[in-house]
Amino acid sequence: MTKDGASQRYRIPPHILDEYESWGLCGALKKVMGAWQYDDEDLERLSTIMTLHDIGFTAEEVENYMRLLLEQPDSDRQRLRMTEEKRKATLDEIHFRERQLQRLVYLRKRFSHSISVDFNGRDYLLTADIVLRKYVGNHPCPVESRLVESGISEVNDEVWSTSYTVWAEVAHAYSDGTKGNRRYSAELTGSLEYETQSYKIFPDNGLKLESSGFVGDAVRDTVYTDGPVIVRNFRRTYETMYNYFSFSCPVNQYEASYDDGIIKFDFPKLEYGILHTVYELRFVGEEENAEGRRFNEYFLKQEIVGEFGQAQHQVSDEFQVIVYLE
């Protein structure tokens, strides 16, 4: 069988045949009409050569092995030692790669983006969560995580806001075999906002509160991340509707979550409960402006009161109201 025939029929790569011929070990080859002829014994040797290549022998190591096989029939122990050394080296490489895979860890950073769109008089909210991962190298990293306990501490209540700390203890098993607990924490707040009103002109003093409550869609914006801890601001709008005007009060409620790629959970949090509006239209007296136009002067005092945890938040404002008499 010719070289091309052996390559095509038995799928032997040409470079393997070239190696075999270059070593000068193929004494059984017959050259007919200028072309080498391969017999069954050659094919058996080539099968051994291909196997040695497949298990990781270099070309030089294959040649040394084959010379021992063909030129030193009593070299069984030496050839066995060569294969055992290769086997050990291969296992060491496999174990090294396994350790590398165990140490692959990604720091996850999640961003939540929201876009509000007004289309044909209706509000639409588009929200997308984006997760970024970053390879941090061959350092010991968590391969198992378990929430042990969590809680709230250091609550500081103000008139219109509350700040507090949330914490969680997480048990980790690391890629280097060690174990340990770690405490994670975040600083959160809850607050009411209020925009100062300018004076207003009413047609009369018949001001009435028609409705109040949350309007539109809530929005969660990522404020910051600290390792696996993600802090977001949960924003809503509380709107008060009078028969003559309306005003809005932004409500901010921070919250935190944990995500290390192994487990996810939400930290405990304080939340707003019932919000309500209190108002008073107080008559001051009858006045006259520079143009000689007479009017009744009032002051409108309004308060937004909300329960947050054990606290009661309050924002208030007072502004002038004019009711012309003619």
Q: What is the largest CA-CA distance in the chain?
A: 129
Question: Between β-strands 209-226 and 200-201, what pairing exists: parallel, antiparallel or unpaired?
Answer: unpaired
Q: What is the pLDDT of residue 123?
A: 66
pLDDT tens column, 44-97: 888 888 888 888 888 888 888 888 888 887 888 888 888 888 888 888 887 777
Buried residues in 238-264 as b, exposed as e (16+ CB within 10 A):
bebbbebeebebebebbbbbbbbebee
Buried residues in 52-64 as b, exposed as e (16+ CB within 10 A):
bbeeebeeeebbe
Predicted TM-score (pTM) of the model is 0.57
CA distance 74 to 69: 8
Average pLDDT over residues 15-44: 69
Is the pLDDT at 133 greater than 80? The verdict is no
Tokens for 179?
A: 């174990």
pLDDT tens column, 183-194: 999 999 999 988
Q: What is the mean pLDDT of the chain?
A: 83
Residue 259 CB-half CA count within 13 A: 14
Is the pLDDT at 28 greater than 70? The verdict is no
Phi–psi pair at 24, nearest 5 degrees: 70, 20
Q: What is the pLDDT of residue 139?
A: 66
pLDDT tens column, 220-246: 889 889 989 999 999 999 999 999 998
Tokens for 324?
A: 């012309």
Is residue 65 exposed (0-12), middle (13-18) or buried (19+ Cβ within 10 Å)?
buried
Query: DSSP readout, 223-273?
Result: EEEETTEEEEEEEEEEEEEESS-EEEEEEEEEEEEEE-SS-EEEPP---EE
pLDDT tens column, 199-209: 899 999 999 99
pLDDT tens column, 144-183: 899 999 999 999 999 999 999 999 999 999 888 899 999 9
Q: What is the pLDDT of residue 115?
A: 62
What lies within 8 Å, CB to CB, of 34 at 6+ separation is none
What lies within 8 Å, CB to CB, of 241 at 6+ separation is 209, 210, 211, 212
